Amino acid sequence: MTGLPKVPIEENYNEKDEFRFDGKTALILSGGGARGSYQIGCWKALKDHGIEIAGVYGTSVGSINAAAVAMNNFELAAELWKKIDYSTVMEISPEVESVIQMAKAKAGIREVFMGIKLLMDGRGIDITPLRRYLHSMIDEERIRRSGIDFGLVTYSLSEMKPVMLYIDEIPRGMLVDYILASANYPVFKREEFDRRKFIDGGVYINIPIDMARKRGFIDMVIIDIGTKSLIDRLRVITGAFEKDKTLYIRPKRHFGSPMQFEREITMKYLVEGYLDTLMALGIVQGSYTYIYETEDLLARLFWSIDEETFSRALGILNIERKKTESPMYFYFKQLLPLLEIGLKTCGSKGVLCGLADYTFGLMEVEELGLYSGLDFFEAISARPPTSLESLRGATINEIPLAGLLEMLSLVYRKSRFKVKRPARFDQYRSSLDFLGAK
């Protein structure tokens, strides 16, 4: 606000403070089966953030997604995952159908293991549909011409050793074969060609960071959707990842197993991947949901209320008004420190995001949603405030949450400062809508 005396209002969010890479960037995609759509959501957020990928390296389903990235065709990748289901991955035999139903019903480990054993006795699940699907979607020549380096990991059972190949080492016409060898999940029929039998590369290494290092990359994005292999764990223990400038992204929450190729789960992972990447980049905050705010709204609102509103606000929390007390003194010297401790965060903007996230969790709003400060103030100011009933009894550092929100609602409605959504909110929201956010 112009023309006002200096107050300790935090500076507006600066895009320069976001996570940035200095040089060319490599993308490392782990295995994780049906969770693979998460990586495509992440890729969309990286693109929206202006991070250009110069090399991409994947294991298992990560190699499938790596091919889409190397083709630089996000729309194709999103289409692939939006359409994928059990029938596009495998032949649905009665035995396969039985295991699928057990997984959906969350049967016990013993029952699922017995079902998988039946499949393995028949030498595994036939993934001919996935083979046809990938041949129709992947343009090998486009990948070779793209200028984006590509690499994958598989494991040769015939030689009992890992096979790590870059695009210039894969024989022409064999790219899909090697991708399927990399993504040869243990319950699938083994991939056999070139007199060798292959299994999923994740049995050896699920995060092929060395492939990027050998190509000279220092700036890397790792998207980890699976369990770490022994080699991966050893690298974490020895701090090998810390030698690079690495952005590490992993799902905040999981919605299904690596074998649950169900559209509802796929769509959730697409959206979550996008939101988790915004969080990893330092753009949004939240443990329950995702809060995006760039202004110090609480300070600006308190700065812009009149004396009558201030007295009414204090009365809501049964606080006696002192003659020397101003709204800004009350906020910065009395209320803010208590909220910082209670919410375990620092700064006025951090408190707003933490308070909004905590409140939305109690209100049970959609967790895979992007929310701004305006959404928070509108939610607590709704009439009638039926959604606030679930907050009765909740406190933050002994401050009754319902009373705190009632006070903030009054300040919001009576303040001369008009709250707006951040400038880039609509861009992020548009991307989420494309990915299928609710």
SS3 content of the chain, % helix, strand, coil (to 5): 50, 15, 35
Is 317 within 8 Å of 407 (Cβ atoms)?
A: yes
Choosing from 200, 224, 232, 276, which is the catalytic residue? 200
Question: What's phi and psi for 272, nearest 5 deg?
Answer: -65, -40
Contacts of 114 (CB under 8 A, 6+ apart): none
Q: Locate 348 and state its tokens.
A: 């006025």
Q: What is the dihedral of CA 306, 310, 316, 320, to 10 degrees?
A: -150
- Cα 236 from chain centroid? 21
Would you call the peptide bond into 384 cis, given omega within 30 degrees of 0 as the criterion?
Answer: yes
Give the whole-angstrom CA distance, residue 86 versus residue 130.
9
Is 182 within 8 Å of 58 (Cβ atoms)?
A: yes
DSSP reduced 3-state for 35: helix
Rounded to whole angstroms, the maximal C-alpha distance in the chain is 88
Question: Any catalytic annotation for residue 200?
Answer: yes
Choosing from 37, 60, 229, 415, which is the catalytic residue? 60
Question: Any catalytic annotation for residue 126?
Answer: no
Distances in whole angstroms, Cα of residue 398 to Cα of each of 250, 273, 357, 387, 395: 34, 36, 18, 21, 5
User: How is residue 168 annotated by DSSP?
Assistant: G
Give the whole-angstrom CA distance, residue 378 versus residue 348.
19
Q: Locate 208 and state its tokens.
A: 């092929």
Q: Locate 425 and state its tokens.
A: 């909110």
Active site residues: 60, 200
